[in-house]
Amino acid sequence: MPPSPAGAKAGPRAAPVPLSDKTIGDLDARVAVPAYDRSKLAASIVHFGVGGFHRAHEAMYLDALMNQGEALDWALCGVGALPHDRRIIDTLRAQDGLYTLVVKHPDGRLEPRVIGSIAEVMFAPDDPGAVVDRLTDERTRIVSLTITEGGYLVNQVTGEFDAKDPSIQADLAADFTGGDSPTTVFGFIVAALDRRRRQGRAPFTVMSCDNLPDNGDVAKRMMTAFARLKDPELADWMESYVPFPNCMVDRITPVTTPEDIARLAEEFGVEDGWPVVCEPFTQWVLEDAFGEAGRPPFEDAGVQLVDDVVPYELMKLRLLNASHQALAYLGYLSGYRYAHEVAQDPLFATFLLAYMEREGSPTLPEVPGVDLDGYRRQLVERFANPEVRDTLARLCAESSDRIPKWLVPVIRENLRTGGEIELSALVVASWARYAEGVDEQGNAIDVVDRLKDKVMAAAAAQKDDPLAFLRDRDLFGDLADVERFTTAYLAALKSLHEKGARETLEAWSNQTR
């Protein structure tokens, strides 16, 4: 997907140009800008979660289509539903929905591109009724989501909707038909679908773009379960008529830093309040299962439209995502702070490849058209990109939503088949060691997790009960009762405590030679 033509003016500027529709023609010629007339955009996709990944992925694909003269009627209306979303919504509103996507190449080259596919933005807490109206409006044909893995309120053991989660209680008690306003993504979507049903309108498609297995199926089950607690007839209608396509998404998108903002301004003369940085690689495999309102011609922008996403999805979750966890805790404990530092270390790179080859890949079905050996090596190369500067702290965050979805299924499948589990056990043990909140140099670790108190308490209890961390059935099921796994886990945890992460990996490496 080549960038769109650049702006008319070139050369250095005395001061950075604030990004907006009025100034876009004044940008440095090296900055690609939309080649289409944004005044002709019609927003028919409402997106919840206008964070970095969405803006480096779905919004970028739509912008690419628009630069080809397609999909001008498939622009985005970005919605922030949480209080902390106010800053990104205010930033985008001030910039007319524009932002800069900066691709960071391994050789240090930056490739900035202004994305114009977001035509509207809304902040739900300010006017929840307006958001329900926008979702109900016949213009809305797709509602897409990047609400994080934990946003789907799945009980990790049962796989069912967690109706006890504190975040959903207000919406469970609310009477949407009686005038109460939703406060969560679940509430907004279900309230709008109910109104469309009552008005005899076709539903929109709900398209999850989050990193979890069977993301469309999960979204359908969780949202339908929520709806069933409020109105069984609505839930039956949703099950029958609302499409929830599955998809696999992939692009490493680290948190934007002040240095990224300053560099964009200094080198390219763009004043952008919240640009997005990402790696060159991008992939989107999407189930072609949309409603009667249709979809954009995503395939024209390089999206793989398939009948079955599962093989690609499992490949990504069990190799890329699980490998991120494999390098994150061990790397952090060893003193590294960035993913590229870990992936450039031959000891860690060898460990990552070994996990993928010996434990992750054997659990995968056939992945059509993919050379797994090449994919695994490409992953290590992507992790090692020094320009992306993805922090280990980001990769270590929200582990209670990640490890159960990405790594525990690998462990369970290998236990079932008699496959290897030692490397996975070391990864789980490294999370348990990390969750103690102190690194090997005695420095405090800021553990970021929605279950922070719970996981840190379990990690602290390991002094008296080495299996304390593993006994959390909400995260690990019955793994604490499986001797073959606990033997490997306890040995790994003991080594991490006595030798440290690096010496533990060195001992493993020596054993495998």
For 22-68, the pLDDT digits (tens) are 999 999 999 999 999 999 999 999 999 999 999 999 999 999 999 99
Tell me the average pLDDT across 334-342.
Answer: 97
For the chain, give every domain's residue range: 17-306, 310-512
CA distances from 369 to 100, 231, 374, 381, 456 (A): 33, 44, 12, 20, 42
Burial class (CB in 10 A: 0-12, 13-18, 19+), 382: buried
Closest CA relative to residue 189, chosen from 246, 139, 120, 128:
128
Q: How many CB atoms lie within 10 A of CB 312?
A: 24
DSSP codes of every residue in 404-428: HHHTHHHHHHHHHHT---HHHHHHH
CATH code of the domain occupying 310-512? 1.10.1040.10
Q: Which residue has the tokens 């960038």?
A: 3
What's the pLDDT at 14? 61
What does the alpha-carbon distance between residue 341 and residue 385 come to, in Å, rounded to a whole number?
A: 9
Inter-CA distances, 363 with 225, 417, 418, 485, Å:
30, 9, 11, 17
The answer to whether residue 3 scores a pLDDT higher than 50 is: no
What average pLDDT score do residues 363-379 get? 95
pLDDT digits (tens, 9 = 90+) for 82-104: 999 999 999 999 999 999 999 99
pLDDT at 1 over 70: no
β-partners of residue 118 are 76
Nearest CA among 428, 426, 417, 443 for reference residue 477: 428
Confidence of residue 157 (pLDDT cuts 50, 70, 90): confident
Q: How far apart are CA 365 and CA 312, in angstroms?
A: 9
Burial (CB count <10 Å: 0-12, 13-18, 19+), residue 366: exposed
- What mean pLDDT comes out for the span 415-420? 98
pLDDT band per the 50, 70, 90 thresholds, residue 158: confident
Are β-strands 283-287 and 247-250 bridged in parallel, bridged antiparallel, or unpaired? antiparallel
**Residue 46 pairs with which residues in a beta bridge?**
77, 143
Q: Give me the residue label for tokens 């390098």.
A: 327
**What mean pLDDT do residues 469-498 have?**
97
Q: Residue 207: in which H helix or E strand, if any?
A: strand 205-208
Domain pair 17-306 / 310-512, same fold: no
Contact in structure between 392 and 338 (CB atoms under 8 Å): yes
Residue 213 token pair: 């297995």
User: What string of DSSP letters covers 255-314?
Assistant: PP-HHHHHHHHHHH-EE-SS-EEE-S--EEEEE----TT----GGGGT-EEES--HHHHH
Residue 300 near residue 258 (C-beta atoms within 8 A): no
The reported pTM is: 0.88
- pLDDT score at 213: 86
Handedness of CA 379, 416, 509, 395 (dihedral sign): positive
**CATH fold for domain 17-306:** Rossmann fold (3.40.50)
pLDDT-derived band at 6 (thresholds 50, 70, 90) equals very low
**Reduced 3-state DSSP string for 31-77:** CECCCCCHHHCCEEEEEECCCHHHHHCHHHHHHHHHHCCCCCCCEEE
